[in-house]
Amino acid sequence: MFRSSCILTASRHLFLSSRWITQHLCKMSSSPQPVAAVCQMTATPDKEANFSVCNNLVEEAKQKGASMVFLPEGFDYIGSTREETLSLSESLEGETVSRFKCLARKLKLWISLGGFHEQGPNWETNRRIYNSHIIINDKGNIVSVYRKAHLFDVELPEKGISLKESSFTISGPSLIAPVQTPIGKVGLGICYDLRFPEFSVALQRQGVEILTYPSAFTVATGAAHWEILLRARAIETQCFVLAAAQVGPHHDKRSSYGHALAVDPWGEVLGDCGGEQPGLIMVEINLDKLKSTRRNMPVLEHQRDTDFYHSLEKIQL
């Protein structure tokens, strides 16, 4: 069973009446605003089972009126060992991406594949991969590929966390320009990129309207930082932030925090998938709100050039 209910503006914001929420949800399918679906799933090493889950989520999103669907990091699989992770990887021309291209074309829907295990350029010799965020348009064509720049090499013994992504993953060479989509101009990140504000500010300077951070956050770091970081990135860039997520146990060695989230340019939480089970949230992308937020608080106009923010060491008293 897939949970598709949306915890609008988070359950703690009690000022939203149940009547308002009901009316809002009923209007979404006929709204003139474009609608995005932000998904949550529990990937395992079983690629076929994972595709079935993704297929169901994407079809449900289409039925509910989405123009674009966001799947999380590791949508294809989450391996239980380094060896398994590498053995299951594919190229962009492989079966997994081809199936999603066909799905996008069939449903006439844009799809964000939030973190694909892509065999690297020297795969035959070094057996290393990229963590790649792929955008497929409604014609089934790949229109953008971003390869994760910041790799999660973290040791937190007191939290039981020990992950070294760089042991099998190549760091991506650069940011990718925002992609024009039916819901707005989307800037691509992946998971750990969320912790680097320079990343989102660089995309902001390129005109991004929607930042997306598909993720598989650990339970410990998610509970401590997930919502705070996503809201911070939205507030400082005055963008919508969409973050598809993995949730629950993938195998006996790893679990994810969940809480796939959508945040508006003012930092308000528009939807939260919770931390227990797969599902999706439907989010209206009201670019008029983005424009009014930026007009009323013109942070972009107040930004200094990049040299200014690197000038501290040059100042002499």
Which residues have a catalytic role annotated? 73, 148, 191
> What is the Cα–Cα distance from 305 to 179, expressed in whole angstroms?
24
d(CA 178, CA 186) in angstroms, rounded, equals 5
Rounded Cα distance between 189 and 146, Å, is: 7
- Please say whether the beta carbons of 136 and 111 come within 8 A: yes
Radius of gyration of the chain (CA): 19
Residues 41 and 246: beta-carbon distance below 8 Å? yes
Angle between helices 219-237 and 197-204 (to 10 degrees): 30
**For residues 111 and 58, what is the distance between their CA atoms, to the nearest angstrom?**
8
d(CA 176, CA 135): 11
Residue 13 in tokens: 């914001």
Q: How many residues does the chain have?
A: 317
Q: How many CB atoms lie within 10 A of CB 197?
A: 14
What dihedral angle (degrees, nearest 10) is formed by the CA atoms of 37, 38, 42, 47?
60
- 165 neighbors 153 (Cβ within 8 angstroms): yes
118-124-125 Cα angle (round to 5) = 115
| Widest distance between CA atoms in the chain | 65
Phi first, then psi, for residue 262 (nearest 5°) are -130, 135
**SS3 readout for 131-158:** EEEEEECCCCCEEEEEECCCCCEEEEHH
